[in-house]
Amino acid sequence: MSKNQEAAFWQKAQRHLIRYGGTFESRIIERAQGSFVYDADQQPILDFTSGQMSSLLGHGHPDICDVVQHHIRNLDHLFSGMLTRPVVDLAHALSETLPPSLSRSMFLSTGGEANEAAIKMAKLATGKYEIVGFAQSWHGMTGGAASATYSAGRQGYGPAAVGSLAIPAPYPYRPRFEKNGEIDWQGELDYGFDLIDRQSSGSLAAFIAEPILSSGGLIDLPLGYLAALKRKCEERGMLLILDEAQTGVGRTGLMYAFERDGVVPDILTLSKTLGAGLPLSAVITSPAIEDLCHERGFLFYTTHVSDPLPAAVGLKVLEVVQRDGLVERARVAGAYLEKGLRRLQERFDCIGDVRGRGLLLGMEIVSDRTSKLPASDLGAAITRECMKLGLSMNIVQLPGMGGVFRIAPPLTVSDSEIDLGLNLLGRAIERAF
C-alpha cells in the first residue's frame, strides 16, 4: 500500500487542521530538492509553480541553506528596535537594483503584510483614504490588503475598508472594450476612472496593481497601460503602488516587471520571490514619502520586522540571481517554455490562450477556441491528471474566464525539466480531454 495513504496522518489532519481554502493533495510531501518535491513513496513531482510561486531558486538551494544554517546559529531574530548588518545591507542592495527614487525599505514576512504597510503609508502620506485596485486583484488576506483584493474572499466577512474601489483589468483574450477589432484598453481605463471619479468622496489615496495579475488569471497589463495608469494617478494626486510579489527579482526576464514600461511606482512591494521560499517581504519607497510618513508618525510594528535571518536570505537571493545570470535565464527559459506551450495549443483545441512573460506564464483552458466558453470541469480534470503523472500545476478558476494554469517553475529550471513538464502536461490533457 502507498505510504501516502497512511490512515493516522490523514485522521490527524482532518481532526486538527483548519481548512483555509480549496482541498489538500492526497499525497504526503516528505522533501523537496531543486525543481522537484517528493512524496511519502519517494515519487518525484515536478514543481511547475515554485511552491507557492515563491521558490525562485528551486528547493534546497545550497547557498540559501548555508545562509540559513549560519544565521539560525548566530543571528536569527531580535527586538524590532535593533538593527543588524543583513537588514541594512539588503536595503542597500535593493536600492542598487532600483531607480534612484526607490531607495528606502522595510522588511516584513509576507506579501499581505507588505501591501498592508504600503496602503497605510499611502494613506498617511496623502492624507486620504480611498484605495483603488483591479476587480481581479489579489493583494493579501489581512485587513487593508484584503479590502483591495477582489478576485476571491470578499463574501461573508462584513464590510471591507471604507474607500475600497475597483476598476476592471484589461483582458486582451476577452476584451470588454474594442476598437477596430483590437482591445481598447485606454477606453476601458478612461471609463473605469470616470466611474471612480463619480464614486469617490474626493479622497483618492492610491492605486495598487500587479504588473501581471496572477491570481486574477495571469492577465498581463498591455504595454503602455502602466504609464497611462500612472498619469491617471498623478492627475488625481494619488500614489501608485506596484505589487511585484510574483513578478519581481527576475521572474519575467527583467529584474522588475515595471522596467518594461519605463514606469517607476511611488511604492513597490516585494515578497515571494525575494525570500526564495522563505517568509520575507519588502516595502520600498522614496525618501520624500518615507520622510513625510515618519514626520506623521508612521507605525507598523510586527513581530518579525527587520529580522536578520530572512534579510540575509534575501541578500543571498539577489547575489545568486545576479551572479548566475538568472534574469536572462528567465527570459530565455521562458521563451522556450512558451514555445512548447504554443505547440501544445496547436494540438489541443481546449487551450484557448497562452500569455505572460518570462517564467510566469498562463494557459487558459476553454471548451474550444472558437466559442471560448469556460471549461472549469476540464481544467480541474487536467490538474488531477497532471498530479497523477507527477506534475504539480496550479489552476485559477474565476467567473467569466476559463480555468487558467499559472506556470512558474524556478529560474534554475533546466531545459530538460521544461521538456518533461510539457510532456506530462500534454499527456494529462490527452487523458482529460
For residues 89 and 368, what is the distance between their CA atoms, to the nearest angstrom?
52
CA within 13 Å, CB half, 44: 11
Angle, helix 85-97 to helix 308-323, in steps of 10 degrees: 40
Q: Which of 100, 47, 67 is nearest to 386 (CA)?
A: 47
Q: 244 in helix, strand or coil?
A: coil
Residues 6+ apart with CB under 8 A from 21: none
**Is there a contact between 411 and 250 (Cβ–Cβ < 8 Å)?**
yes
pLDDT at position 108 over 90:
yes
Q: Does the pLDDT value for residue 22 go beyond 90?
A: no
Based on the number of CB atoms within 10 Å of its own CB, is 175 exposed (0-12), middle (13-18) or buried (19 or more)? middle
Please list the residues that pair with 38 across neighbouring strands: 31, 44
For the chain, give every domain's residue range: 3-60+325-432, 75-323
What tens digit of pLDDT does each residue of 317-343 get?
999 999 999 999 999 999 999 999 999
User: What is the pLDDT confidence band of residue 149, given thresholds at 50, 70 and 90?
Assistant: very high
Give the list of residues 6+ apart from residue 346 with CB closer than 8 angstroms, or none: none
Phi-psi map region of 431: left, alpha, beta (phi>0 left; psi -120 to 50 alpha): alpha
Q: Which residues, at least 6 apart from 181, have a Cβ–Cβ distance to it below 8 Å?
A: none
Helices (H), 168-325: 185-199, 225-235, 272-275, 287-295, 308-323
pLDDT > 90: what percent of the chain?
A: 96
Distances in Å between the Cα of 245 and the Cα atoms of 101, 115, 300 are: 20, 10, 19
What's the CATH architecture for 3-60+325-432?
A: Alpha-Beta Complex (3.90)
Q: What are phi and psi of 86, to 5 degrees?
A: -60, -35
Instruction: Please give the share of the chain, as a percent, with pLDDT higher than 70.
Output: 100
Question: Which amino acids are annotated catalytic?
Answer: 138, 210, 243, 246, 272, 406
Q: Length of the chain in residues, anyone? A: 433
Angle at 59 between CA 88 and CA 332, to 5 degrees: 85
pTM over 0.85? The answer is: yes
Mark out the alpha helices in 127-206 (DSSP H runs). 143-147, 185-199
CA distance 87 to 110: 16
Summarised one tens digit per residue, pLDDT across range 371-419 is: 999 998 999 999 999 999 999 999 999 888 889 999 999 999 999 999 9
pLDDT band at 210; cut points 50, 70, 90? very high
Alpha carbons 186 and 178: distance in angstroms, whole number: 10
Residues 111-136 have a mean pLDDT of 98
Q: What is residue 385's three-state secondary structure?
A: helix
Taking domain 75-323, whether its CATH number is 3.40.50.300 is answered by no
Angle at the Cα of 247 from the Cα atoms of 242 and 217, rounded to 5 degrees = 90
Q: Mutual orientation of helices 111-126 and 287-295 as an angle, nearest 10°?
A: 70
Q: Look up residue 184 and give its three cell numbers.
A: 481598447
Angle at 416 between CA 410 and CA 419, to 5 degrees: 90
Question: Residue 80: which pLDDT band, with cuts at 50, 70 and 90?
Answer: very high
Element (H, E) at 32: strand 29-33
Question: Which residues are paired to 354 by β-bridges?
Answer: 363
Average pLDDT score, the chain: 97
Taking alpha carbons only, the member of 210, 166, 173 closest to residue 189 is 166
Report the pLDDT value the prediction gives residue 433, as an integer from 0 to 100: 79
Which are the contacts of 52, defined by CB distance < 8 A and separation ≥ 6? 272
Q: Read off the pLDDT of residues 39-68 as tens digits, 9 standing for 90 and up.
A: 999 999 999 999 999 999 999 999 999 999
Q: Mean of the pLDDT values across residues 239-265?
A: 98
